[in-house]
Amino acid sequence: MDGADTGSGRTLEGDPVAARLRSSSPVGGLSRRTLAFPQVLAQSVAAVAPSAVMVTLPLLAHPTAGSLTPVVFLAVAALMVAVARCVNAFATRMVAPGGLYSYTVKGLGPRAGLVAGLSLVIGYAGAAAASVLGAAEFLLALLDDLGLDPDPATARPLACLAVAAAAGAVMVRGVRLSAGAVLVVEALAISTVVVVLTVAGWTDLRIDAGLGSSVAEGHWGLVLLLAMVAFVGFESATTLSSETRRPFSAVPRAVRWTPVVTGLLFAGAALLVTRDGFVGAGGSGMAWDLSGGGGAVPRLVEGLLHVGVLGSWFACACGSTTALTRTLFTMAREGVLPAPLGRTHRRWRTPALTLTVASTLVGAAVAATTAVGVAADELFVWLLALSAQGYVVAYVFCVVAAPVFLHRIGELPRAGWLVPTLTATAMAGIVVAGTALDPGRFSRPAVVYLALLASGLVLTLIRLRARGVRLAALGLYDETTEADLLTRRRTAWRGGEHG
């Protein structure tokens, strides 16, 4: 470059720092440095779907855990905080839209990174599918509250397609729009569900819980697995790091605080669940019904509950799909996936094609499965199990990668291996115990997960070899560019002029 104008009459010609900078970012095309901390936090919180979890998983854990249900969720929250600490070993040092995939590549190498990345893709896709189904079910429940009484067999597939299309349309139009929408929807959803649960907890209203017959009871391993499922997705803010204004502070804060805040919400919901008479008879399907009380009050409160959970599942669909597409985008930029998936929209600066393909495939897959007669509650639990296995395997890889990475760069503290070792062992033990103790529900998704992971690895390695892509090229991350330096110096000069 012959010399660029900084806005002050100065140029970067001869600048030794500028000479080492790239002219463009490896993840160029995304809307870099635009999101504030609340929007980044909303991404992680939405991917967890706290409002939906509050009226789902504590109720499923309660028959076994009883009065210890709040303790279970707080204990697992502490485990997720330990995972967050390991994730932040990377998030405070590198900006990568590939998130845990890119982190694992940097820590354990490209082969382990591919395993973690493909596992994460399965986790995000499974969570997106479960969220689309959850939103569709509560949309049908809301229509029933309004007296429309749709036929589930016909309306459910259409509702799944509608939810997926709406989520895709929001995400394609720009990360600021989608992040802002997710922030508003999730905030309203949490507020609504907290109010409804509080009202129900201090009156004679009871929740008639669906999904009760879909999960085996009496196994502590399963209870811990369900509690861990409640938190998956909290790390997804890392996939928006390139699009965050202050990524080295905002992203780690979002990752650190999401399991803390959601853990308190889940424990609070679990406290209400343990109250005698709060949980009524088992409901049908996925949506929760309210009984007791008198007049129109239960119907009104039930409608508010359905609105809140619908919003939470919709936000989760957006959050999970956003994280999925940023991971796929990174893989495409590296040559792991076809190049068109790494392109961005010229105006909206989002991976529009990848978002469209992902939303369409997720919506169509869920709609087709329900259309052939698979029960919604059975499919929902199955998708949760598949997603959880994908997430947890990726978490284990990232947790193990963190101390290796810190040791390599000379920043591993004394006893720095202790927390990662204990954390990875605990997560692996919970998954094995939960899967082995309920083979009817969780081992079949495990087989499908392993089949998807193995086939994905084989196809990926074949593609890389055929196209001559070196494994060393994996681990793409954002880098400071000449334009970034120009912007900073222009801002500093103007600040000095007007100071």
**460-473 confidence digits (pLDDT tens):** 999 999 999 888 88
Q: Which residues, including other chains, have CB under 8 Å from residue 351's CB and lie 6 or more apart?
A: 29, 30, 325, 326, 328, 329, 341, 342, 343, 344, 345
CA distance 324 to 344: 15
Q: Tell me the average pLDDT of the chain.
A: 86
164-456-231 Cα angle (round to 5): 55
Spatial CA neighbour of 256 closest among 457, 1, 86: 86
Determine the pLDDT at residue 496. 46
Spatial CA neighbour of 135 closest among 483, 383, 345: 383
Domain boundaries, the chain: 55-467
Is 213 or 459 the better-scoring residue by pLDDT?
459
Using the Cα atoms of residue 187, residue 191, residue 193 and residue 194 in order, give the sign of their dihedral.
positive
Determine the pLDDT at residue 21. 57
Confidence band (pLDDT; 50, 70, 90) for 5? very low
Determine the pLDDT at residue 441. 62
- The answer on pLDDT for 24 being more than 80 is no
- The answer on pLDDT for 82 being more than 60 is yes
Classify 480 as helix, strand or coil. Answer: coil
Phi and psi (nearest 5°) for 481?
Answer: -110, 170
Determine the pLDDT at residue 473. 85
- The answer on pLDDT for 475 being more than 50 is yes
Determine the pLDDT at residue 3. 42
- The answer on pLDDT for 200 being more than 90 is no
Weakest mean pLDDT among 190-194, 231-235, 359-363, 370-374: 190-194
Determine the pLDDT at residue 56. 82
State the CB neighbour count (10 A cutoff) for residue 137.
Answer: 27
- pTM of this structure: 0.90
Determine the pLDDT at residue 214. 47
Determine the pLDDT at residue 9. 42
Share of the chain above pLDDT 90, in %: 60
Share of the chain above pLDDT 70, in %: 82
State the CB neighbour count (10 A cutoff) for residue 390.
Answer: 26
**438-451 confidence digits (pLDDT tens):** 665 667 888 999 99
Rg (CA), the chain: 23
Output the CA–CA distances (angstroms, integers) from residue 168 to 287, 320, 368, in the order listed. Answer: 24, 11, 18
Are the C-beta atoms of residues 64 and 79 closer than 8 Å to each other? no
Confidence band (pLDDT; 50, 70, 90) for 478? confident
Fold designation for 55-467: Amino acid/polyamine transporter I (1.20.1740)
